[in-house]
Amino acid sequence: MSKLPNKITEYPDPTPGALVEIQHLKQYFPVGEGLFKRNYIKAVDDVSFYIKKGETLGLVGESGCGKTTVGRTLLRLYEPTDGRILYDGEDITHVDMLPYRRKMQIVFQDPFASLNPRMTVGDIIGEPIDIHKLASNKKERQEKIIQMLEKVGLNSEHANRYPHEFSGGQRQRIGIARALAVNPEFIVCDEPISALDVSIQAQIINMFEELQEEIGLTYLFIAHDLSVVKHISNRIGVMYLGKLVEIAESYELTFHSAHPYTRSLISAIPVPDPVVSRSRKRIILEGDVPSPLNPPSGCRFRTRCPYADKLCEEQEPVLREIGSGHYAACHHLDKVGS
């Protein structure tokens, strides 16, 4: 039977210059019935990282690895099981979030499901303006709505239409405009392009980059496509089965990855040059991802890792620094690098 974690009582000091930070974050979801038979899905299990002001941290991994749960727990859309959430050095793990909702926003994965079909686009964007009382009258409210629409490449005529009248890319722009309406500092981008056509994806990515440069936004960019993440991110974290297994600067992680799981992800990135593509060695992982309801003992990646041995079965690897700002959790980094 899975148990709730022991509460951590001591945490490290906040990282200097970090706008957002999570320390030993855990998110367990109860499943099953009965007082003595309750199990827990360990969706996020002891994850720590920081994001500096104006930076983009990419978070990648297979479906079900806990990426989205990290983003939503960070915003307190889910209450964390354990751990600490810091915003600009302040502990916000147990405070009233309304003042922070203005500063921290989210762009959801599915633009078809995240917009209310009964509301006009103007009301969708205007709702957060109303909640946070950012407009003193109807005229100012309307001006802000039009300003947000224009910022994301739409126009004032779109304000009176309904979501079903727009394409997927346009709906995602509306979702971004809604997030920008409260003038946030930090945005969680939860797989914002995975539901869009490839031709539209580049437009949305470019818009995120332009907005960051213009407004000075900070992003947590969640995706399963490493080729997209390495383009937009300053640093990249790799998750596997609720754990952070490697984190480093974008270039460092792409060309000098250390963890065997990261290497398999990078080997799957398509290369447009057929000559280079044929010479690359594709690392194919065997087996399936274990259940987060009953994760393997020791290293969670060991059931699919070609380097796994008795040590990996008995002892969980610690995320340790192997280079400047480059951290990896593996017992056999010497073998992986050889």
pLDDT tens string 102-143: 999 999 988 888 899 999 999 999 999 999 999 999 999 999
Identify the band that residue 337 occupies on the pLDDT scale cut at 50, 70 and 90.
low
Q: Could you count the other beta carbons within 10 Å of the beta carbon of residue 236? A: 26
Give the lowest-confidence range in 32-36, 84-88, 121-125, 138-142: 32-36
pLDDT for 279 = 61
User: pLDDT at position 152, please?
Assistant: 93
Please check the confidence at residue 74 and state whether its pLDDT lies above 60.
yes
Q: Which helix (H) or strand (E) holds 35?
A: none
In order of 112, 113, 115, the CA distances from 164 in angstroms are: 8, 11, 9
Task: Return the pLDDT at 35.
Answer: 62
Mean pLDDT of the chain: 89
pLDDT band at 4 (very low <50, low <70, confident <90, very high): confident
Segment 316-330 shows an average pLDDT of: 93
- Mean pLDDT of all residues in 78-104: 94
> What pLDDT is stored for residue 93 in this prediction?
94
Looking at residue 224, its pLDDT comes to 86
- The whole-model pTM stands at 0.91
Find residue 164's DSSP bridge partners.
none
Grouping H, G, I as helix, E, B as strand and the rest as coil, residue 209 is helix
How buried is residue 227: exposed, middle or buried, by Cβ count under 10 Å (0-12/13-18/19+)? middle
Do 53 and 17 contact (CB within 8 A), yes or no?
Answer: yes
Q: Which residue has the higher pLDDT, 198 or 189?
A: 189
Average of pLDDT values for 39-59? 94
Q: Tell me how many degrees the CA angle 78-289-285 measures, rounded to the nearest 5.
A: 135
Q: Can you tell me the distance from the alpha carbon of 61 to that of 90, in angstroms, rounded to the nearest whole number?
A: 29
CA distance 329 to 243: 9
- Percent of the chain topping pLDDT 90: 68
- When pLDDT is cut at 50, 70 and 90, the band that residue 34 belongs to is low
Is pLDDT of 256 > 70? yes
The average pLDDT across 175-200 equals 91
Average pLDDT, stretch 275-287?
67
Q: Is the pLDDT of residue 264 over 70?
A: yes
